[in-house]
Amino acid sequence: MARMSARERVEAALAGQDVDVVPVSLWRHFPEQDQTAEALTDVTLEWQKRFGFDFIKLMPPGDYATIDWGAESSYQGAVGGTRQTTTFPITTIDDWAKIKPVPVDRGRNREVIEAARLVDERLGGEIPVLQTIFSPLTIAMKLSDGKVLEHLRQRPEIVHEALSAITEVTRAMTAATLDHGAYGIFFATQCASTDLMTPDEYRAFGSAYDRQVLDEAGGSRFTLVHIHGSNIMFDELKTYNANALNWHDRRTAPTLAEGQASSGRTVVGGIHEKAIADMTPAEAAAQARDAIDALSARHLMIAPGCVMPITTPDSNVRAVVEAVRG
């Protein structure tokens, strides 16, 4: 088979067609280098230059969607590279009434949109760039230090009103970032787990709003849904308007092959995102090859199940890429 471009490779994998090699990408946070569009662009391009991934998951700070509602944070050394929220906008149940739509053409949201535009522009549109978009309920969790789970059971109406406002902003964020150069979105929900909620609760407070955002992304060429956590509600999320799924496949059911067979979607994973930092390069490479064998290299992209530790050695990242590329 003739050598494919990164974009051709990704498009073929999403369609379940033959590929020259399976697409591969790995991602991590860049604390302190992710606070402005220019800095995030520079570090993203440097990361891409080192490893030559087939698509880029843009890595804005995990709290970016809360900042324009008044959250504050600082990086305090977390190995995952995440920032610690120091000021939560929601501390009492009545605070949800303060959550009104905010514009996405200014503030932190604008910086994140601009970063996707700059990365795409400086790469000449050759590498698909996925913008990270958090689900409305996930944003509510981040705004309230998790108190939303308690609040939605006490006063569902006030939480629904806030989620409607958050969804409006998230839809606008999705539309704007796709208009400004993002090839697709990485839609992350951190709440679709029976460790946190019942399936009925998630359908009411999670899926009902998730689906609105994903409908906004309907024109995206690559919509990748990330299902965070253990004991995930896979059967609910596999019905979403998306063409690829990502979850902690090395840590929770289903397996990558089971997830692909059950959903009919392209699956993105195969690498244990926490363990890779302590693996040998040979062990990291073996995980990639194992995933390729399990899926017969179809409807598959090799990636971590979630964000990797910032301590992950370059040698392990390189070993995964080289294992995939042969």
**Bridge partners, 72 (sequence order):** 87
Q: In this structure, what CATH number is given to the domain that contains residue 222?
A: 3.20.20.210
Of 52, 28, 12, give the one whose Cα is nearest residue 243: 12
Sign of CA dihedral 166, 36, 28, 123: positive
Q: What are the backbone dihedrals phi and psi of residue 242, each rounded to the nearest 5 degrees, phi first?
A: -150, 160
Q: Residue 222, SS3? A: strand
Per-residue confidence of the chain (326 residues) as pLDDT tens digits?
Answer: 899 999 999 999 999 999 999 999 999 999 999 999 999 999 999 999 999 999 999 999 999 999 999 999 999 999 999 999 999 999 999 999 999 999 999 999 999 999 999 999 999 999 999 999 999 999 999 999 999 999 999 999 999 999 999 999 999 999 999 999 999 999 999 999 999 999 999 999 999 999 999 999 986 799 999 999 999 999 999 999 999 999 999 999 999 999 999 999 999 999 999 999 999 999 999 999 999 999 999 999 999 999 999 999 999 999 999 999 98
In this structure, is residue 1 part of a structural domain?
Answer: no
In a domain, 20, yes or no: yes
Domain count for the chain: 1
Q: Does a cis peptide bond (omega within 30 degrees of 0) precede residue 254?
A: yes
Range of 143's domain? 6-325
